[in-house]
Amino acid sequence: MSTSTPPRPRSATTSAPARSRSALPLAGVRAVAFALMAAVAGTALLDAPAPTAAPPPTTAAPAPGAPAPTASGSTVSAASTPVHFTGKAFDTCEAPSVETMRAWRGSPYGAVGIYFGGRGRGCPGQRELNPGWVSSVQAMGWRLLPVFVGSQAPCVEAPAKKPFAIGSDPWGQGTREAGDAVRAARALGLGTSSPLYLDIEAYRRGDAQCAATTLSFVRAWNREVRRLGYLPGFYSSTDTGVRDIEAQRRAGTADLPAVMWFARWLGKPALATEPTLAPAAWTPHARIHQYAGNVTESYGGHRLVIDRNAVDAPVARLTTARAGSSSAEPASATSAFAAPTPSVHSAVSRAPARP
């Protein structure tokens, strides 16, 4: 499952034209003052320079962690800047029940990945996932990582994902699916500045045409999500999607993700030492490492099959949460993940068949 708004161009300022002073005798000033005030007020707008049209939003790749631009191209206000979480998270195919989420408050996890939309989800039903569930688990103290599993690379490896291959219009398809993602997020009460993580499963490495099609889809999705006021994130395998996006970042390509969620199953968190990524790339607060997958854990008598993640990244901001539950940046998880350990270059890097 996984950037930075460049400095916005400043719009030209329009100043009122300088007013000329009349050489009227002092005695006559008061007599004509009020008449002149009306005339000046009426002509100032007529004489002022025509307003300069706002420049179109820049398409340069935003800097990691920067506020997402709104639909008008302006930057999201400080009141709705991204909320960050640092700690451990888990994700699982279907959102667990409220009872399970309550029982898992005794776990080392403080955030949960939710598969909120996309035609490629493995668990599209999501019986528990609704605005009430979102508000309830947020009130318990959970932080949410919304994941969208839409169309996949034409050369995707997982057989279950092949029916969802990107079509002949990747840019248009990416734009449309971004709109779907934002609508689904809004329906759950996920507010602007929330990250929406696009899940692109592992695909055949070395297939240039496939990679180019996938990149076009991802960039269009990112651009539209950002335009609509949300933060585009990206999840994939370090050997395919993450590697290709990092190469585009180095090349200065526009419309890249704001947050990188990379899958490398080392068994231990290694947020800062992933060899595929430059040390300063997607920092600060813009990385998630999925370091283990398909493991079974049980807390409070409730068992789940999960993937484990180390997080230093944005989480959802709710519009329907109880007062005070999401308006401020949450504290870091009480059980923070262990300090990152050096990655092993020979370790398997894979994005499993995702939900």
pTM of the predicted model, to two decimals?
A: 0.73
Q: Alpha-carbon distance 258 to 264, whole Å?
A: 19
Q: What is the pLDDT of residue 114?
A: 98
pLDDT in tens, 69-109: 333 232 334 446 889 999 999 999 999 999 999 999 999 99
Residue from 203, 197, 114 nearest 152 by CA: 203
CB atoms within 10 A of CB 210: 20
Q: How does residue 327 score in pLDDT terms, banded at 50, 70 and 90?
A: very low
Whole-angstrom distance between the N-terminal and C-terminal Cα of the chain?
Answer: 10
Say what the alpha-carbon torsion angle 191, 63, 262, 132 is, to the nearest 10 degrees: 0
Residue from 311, 313, 272, 295 nearest 352 by CA: 295
Cα 166 → chain centroid: 21
The C-alpha angle with vertex 291 and arms to 288 and 293, in degrees rounded to 5, equals 115
Q: Are 221 and 3 in contact (CB under 8 A)?
A: no
pLDDT in tens, 195-224: 999 999 999 999 999 999 999 999 999 999
